[in-house]
Structure 1
Amino acid sequence: MTPYPLSLPLAGRRVVLVGGGTAAARRLPGFLAAGARVSLVAAELTPAVHAYVDAGRVAWQARDFAEVDLDDAWLVCLADPAAADTVLAAAERRRVFCVPAEDQAPDNRAATTGSVALVGSGPGDPELITVKGRRLLAEADVVVADRLVPGMLLDALRPGVELVDASKIPYGPSVAQEEINRVLVDRALAGRSVVRLKGGDPFVFGRGGEEVIACVAAGVPVIVVPGVTSSVAAPALAGIPVTHRGVAHGFTVVSGHLPPGHPESLVDWGALARLGGTLVVLMGLKNLAKITTALVEHGLDPTAPVGVVQEGSTDRQRALRSTVGEVAADVAADGIRPPAVVVIGPVVDALGSARR
C-alpha cells in the first residue's frame, strides 16, 4: 500500500525519538528545525547525539523504551531496530503515528572505484556548503561526519547511506584519528564512495592533512573540497570584518585548544601580542583567561576590543563585545559556550552602527 505523503506541523509538539545511534543523529536536526519538543529514549547515545542533550535541546531518558513514553506524544520516530516490535505495538494502541528513521529501502548501487572526498561543510548553516560538496554528499555511499557539521545535511542523505559518527567533542568522548583514517581507507578499498564531512574547512584545524596522507599511503583516490571557515564567516555574520581598509591589513588565525605555556603548544603568544592587525582564536574558549593574560603580559593593550561569536551562521548565533582585559569574565557571565570564535583587534568596532 502506498503511504500518504503528509507534512506535519510539529512546532511546540512532543516527538519521541527511540534510539541514540546514527539514525537518530540524522533525524534529530529535522525535528528540531520544525520546532518539536524532542524526547529521546535510549540506553546509550553516540557523541553526536549526546551533544544535543548537553546543549539542552533534547530531553533524554537513559533507558529502554516503555509505553508510558508516548504520553502526550504527537509522533514517535523509531531509530532502534531492536525496539521495533515494542514501539510499533505501543504506537498502534495509543493511535500515535510511528515513522522509521530509515524510511526507505537501502539503495544498493554498486560503486566501481572507491574514493574519498574531504568536504568542508561550512560554519553551521547548511546552505553554506559548496555546490560541489553538496553534490558529492548526495552521491555518497558512506558519510563520516564530525559533530560540527550542519545536522540538516545528514537528514538529507539518500536512503541506504552508511553514516559513521566520528564526533570529536572538545574535552569529551572522541574517536581516535587513526580509527577515522582506517574507516575511510577500509570503505574506499571496498569500492564505496566516501565523504569525510567536516565542519568549516578540512584544512583549518580539521586534521584533513592527516587523512589525505592515510588515503594516499593506502592507494585510495582522495580529493579535497574546501569549506567556508568559521574563522572568517562567524565574525562577518556578527558584523566584524577580519580586515578593513585603514584598520587592519591582515589577520592571523590560531588554535587556542592548548593554553599559553603548554609544552605542546606551537603558538607564540608574545609575537602575536606585538603583531598588530586582527587575531582570530578558534577552540579557545576554555583557555580564554590564560590567553588574554598572556597577551597583556606581552604588551597587548587590555582595552583592545574583542568580539566573541557563538555558533555563527546558525539560529543559535550569539555575539558579545568586550575588551581583552574583561572578556574572559564577560564570557562566563553571559554563558557563552563552544563552539565560539574570538576576534581581537580594532576591526571589532570598525563598522560601528552599521554592524548587524
Structure 2
Amino acid sequence: MAEHPAYPVGLRLSGRRVVVLGGGQVAQRRLPALIAAGADLVLVSPEATPSVEAMADAGEITWERRGYADGDLAGAWYALIATSDPDANRAASAEAERHRVWCVRSDDADAATAWTPATGHSEGVTVAVLTTDARGRDPRHTAAVRDAVVEGLRDGTLVAPHHRTRTPGVALVGGGPGDPDLITVRGRRLLAEADVVIADRLGPRDLLAELPPHVEVIDAAKIPYGRFMAQEAINDALIEHARKGRSVVRLKGGDPYVFGRGMEEVQALAEAGIPCTVVPGISSSISVPGAAGIPVTHRGVAHEFTVVSGHVAPDDARSLVDWRALAALTGTLVILMGVDKIGRIAETLIAHGRSPDTPVALVQEGTTAAQRRVDATLATVAETVTAQDVRPPAVIVVGEVVAVGAGAPPDAARPAPAGSDPQK
C-alpha cells in the first residue's frame, strides 16, 4: 500500500460514531475539528489534558475513563488512535482493520488506513493537503503548503474567482491608515474579488495596483457634482454598479464609521434595497500615533483618550464638539482633519484651562513611507505647523503621552504626574 498515494476524500461525520483513543496532545489538537464536524465522539482514555477534560465537561464528547478494550471500535465510522501504549495501539488498529473502520495512527502512519491532512479554512473553503508519496512524507512541508494556500486565499494574493453566480452587493471596506499591509484579511480578500472599486484618496492606494485588469477603479475624489454633492454622487455610483450585478467594494481610509460617512452610504444602500457588508478597518486615530511611537494611553499618564474631528473650528456654528469639556480632561486628545484649524483649537483649549505647555505631536502621512512627526506644544503648535509646512493628512495628538516612548524628542521626557497610579 505504501507504493500508492492516498486517495483524498471528505468525510461527513455528522451524527456518526467516532472513537478517539488517548486523551493527550494529539487528541487535544484533533478533537475540535471532529466536534465541528458534528461527530458523535467517544473518548477512551484513563487520563486527559485539561482542555480535553473541558470538552467532556461541556458535553461535547463522551469520555470513558479507562484504557482501550477490544470491541471499543464496534459501530464506529472513523477512529483516531493516539495512546501512549504501543500494544494498545496495535490491538486497536487490528480491530479497526477487522471492522473496516478507517483508522488514523499517531504513532505509526504506515500502519494506519487513513492519514490526517494539514487543513485550513478560508470563507467556506477547506484546504486539505496530503503528501502524495508515503516514502517521502514531510509534515512540515505539508503544513507550509497549507499555510501558503490559506494565506493567499485570505489576503487576496491567491485569487480564485467564483464561477457560480454571486449575489451582487456592496462591501464598505476600511482600508486602514495607509500602509497596504494594515488592511484586514477580510478586506483584502473582498478587494481581490471585486468587479468595481470606488476608492477614497486616503485609502491604501498601493493595493489598487494589484487588482486584475478587468476591475474598474473609480476615484471617489473625482466624482463630479462639486464638493458638497460628492457624497450623494458616491451613493449613486454604489447603487448603480450594484444594480448591474457587480460586486462593488467601497474602499475607505481608516474605519468606515470613524469620520468616514460610512453610515450615510449604508443607509442609502438600504433604501435602494442593495445588500451591504461593512468590514471594519484600523482607525488612524490609534494606529498613526502608535506608528510614531505614541501610545494613546499609558499607565500613570493617561487613562482615557478622546477622538474628535477638527474639520470645523471651535467657534464655527457647525461644530458639535464641546471643547470646554475636552480642555478639562487630563487624558489624550486625538484630532483628525484639524491641521488647518489647529491654531484656533489650541487657543480654545488653553482658554478653557489646558496648559500651554501641553505636548502636541503632528504625524503626517502616518504608516506610509512619507511618514514624519513634528512636535510642539499647545502654545507653539500654530507657528510650528506653518514653519514645518505640515499638511494633511495628519493626525494630531495632544497630551502627556506625546512625551512617552522612543518616538519622543530627547528633551521631551517628563515624569509621571503626581499621584499617578504605579500599577494598572
Which TM class, normalised by the smaller chain length? 0.5 to 0.7
Q: Does 1:300 align with 2:331?
A: no
Given the superposition, is the C-alpha separation of residues 145 and 254 from structure 1 closer, same or farther in structure 2, using an over 3 Å criterion? same
Structure 1, gaps ≥5 residues long: 1-106
Given the superposition, is the C-alpha separation of residues 204 and 168 from structure 1 closer, same or farther in structure 2, using an over 3 Å criterion? farther
Q: Aligned residue for 2:70?
A: none
Cα deviation digits, residues 67-97 of structure 1 (max 9, x gap) = xxxxxxxxxxxxxxxxxxxxxxxxxxxxxxx
How many angstroms does 1:109 deviate by?
7.2
Aligned partners of 2:195, 2:228: CA distance in 1, in Å?
A: 23
Q: Aligned residue for 1:253?
A: 307
1:232 to 271, 286, 291: 286
Q: Aligned residue for 2:114?
A: none
Q: Does 1:330 align with 2:364?
A: no
Aligned partners of 2:220, 2:164: CA distance in 1, in Å?
A: 24
Superposed CA RMSD in Å reads: 2.2
Question: TM-score of the superposition, structure 1-length normalised?
Answer: 0.66
Larger Rg: 2
3-state SS, counterpart of residue 251 of structure 2: strand
Q: Aligned residue for 1:27?
A: none
How many angstroms does 1:168 deviate by?
7.6
Question: TM-score of the superposition, structure 2-length normalised?
Answer: 0.56
Counterparts in 2 of 1:202-217, with a 5 A limit? Answer: 202-217=256-271
Counterpart contact for 2:177–2:282, Cα < 8 Å: yes
Counterparts in 2 of 1:107-118, with a 5 A limit? Answer: 111-118=165-172
Counterpart contact for 1:231–1:280, Cα < 8 Å: yes
Counterpart contact for 2:199–2:219, Cα < 8 Å: yes
- The AA in structure 1 aligned to 2:192 is A
How many angstroms does 1:209 deviate by?
0.5
Shifted more, 129-138 versus 216-225: the winner is 216-225
Cα deviation digits, residues 197-248 of structure 1 (max 9, x gap) = 0011101100000001011111111111111111111111111000011111
Counterpart contact for 2:292–2:407, Cα < 8 Å: no
Aligned partners of 1:353, 1:124: CA distance in 2, in Å?
A: 19
3-state SS, counterpart of residue 341 of structure 1: strand
Q: Aligned residue for 1:243?
A: 297
3-state SS, counterpart of residue 291 of structure 1: helix
Q: Aligned residue for 2:245?
A: 191
Q: Does 1:161 align with 2:215?
A: yes
Given the superposition, is the C-alpha separation of residues 278 and 354 from structure 1 closer, same or farther in structure 2, using an over 3 Å criterion? closer
Q: Aligned residue for 1:26?
A: none
Q: Aligned residue for 1:147?
A: 201
- The AA in structure 2 aligned to 1:303 is D
Counterpart contact for 2:198–2:220, Cα < 8 Å: yes
How many angstroms does 1:310 deviate by?
0.3
Aligned partners of 2:177, 2:247: CA distance in 1, in Å?
A: 24
Aligned partners of 1:123, 1:143: CA distance in 2, in Å?
A: 18
3-state SS, counterpart of residue 295 of structure 2: coil
Given the superposition, is the C-alpha separation of residues 166 and 156 from structure 1 closer, same or farther in structure 2, using an over 3 Å criterion? same
- The AA in structure 2 aligned to 1:248 is A
Q: Aligned residue for 1:35?
A: none
1:126 to 163, 170, 180: 180
Aligned partners of 1:262, 1:231: CA distance in 2, in Å?
A: 23
Counterpart contact for 1:147–1:168, Cα < 8 Å: no
How many angstroms does 1:110 deviate by?
8.0
How many angstroms does 1:313 deviate by?
0.4
Given the superposition, is the C-alpha separation of residues 126 and 352 from structure 1 closer, same or farther in structure 2, using an over 3 Å criterion? closer
2:321 to 253, 264, 267: 267
Aligned partners of 2:164, 2:242: CA distance in 1, in Å?
A: 12
- The AA in structure 2 aligned to 1:227 is G
Q: Aligned residue for 2:142?
A: none
Counterparts in 2 of 1:14-33, with a 5 A limit? Answer: none
Aligned partners of 1:247, 1:343: CA distance in 2, in Å?
A: 14
3-state SS, counterpart of residue 351 of structure 1: coil
Q: Aligned residue for 1:85?
A: none
Q: Does 1:138 align with 2:192?
A: yes
How many angstroms does 1:167 deviate by?
1.5
Q: Aligned residue for 1:31?
A: none
Cα deviation digits, residues 264-304 of structure 1 (max 9, x gap) = 11011111000220000000000010100011111110001
3-state SS, counterpart of residue 164 of structure 1: strand
Counterpart contact for 2:364–2:395, Cα < 8 Å: yes
Q: Aligned residue for 2:93?
A: none
Aligned partners of 1:276, 1:185: CA distance in 2, in Å?
A: 45
How many angstroms does 1:185 deviate by?
1.1
1:343 to 384, 392, 397: 397
- The AA in structure 2 aligned to 1:306 is V
- The AA in structure 2 aligned to 1:158 is P
Counterpart contact for 2:361–2:376, Cα < 8 Å: yes
How many angstroms does 1:112 deviate by?
3.7
Aligned partners of 2:271, 2:392: CA distance in 1, in Å?
A: 34
How many angstroms does 1:260 deviate by?
0.7
Q: Aligned residue for 1:49?
A: none
2:372 to 318, 329, 354: 318
How many angstroms does 1:189 deviate by?
1.5
- The AA in structure 2 aligned to 1:133 is G
Shifted more, 292-301 versus 107-116: the winner is 107-116
Aligned partners of 1:111, 1:173: CA distance in 2, in Å?
A: 37
Aligned partners of 1:210, 1:130: CA distance in 2, in Å?
A: 22
3-state SS, counterpart of residue 245 of structure 1: coil
Counterpart contact for 1:140–1:194, Cα < 8 Å: yes
Aligned partners of 2:356, 2:409: CA distance in 1, in Å?
A: 23
Counterpart contact for 1:119–1:202, Cα < 8 Å: yes
3-state SS, counterpart of residue 221 of structure 2: coil
- Which structure is higher in RCO with an 8 Å CA cutoff and minimum separation 6? 1
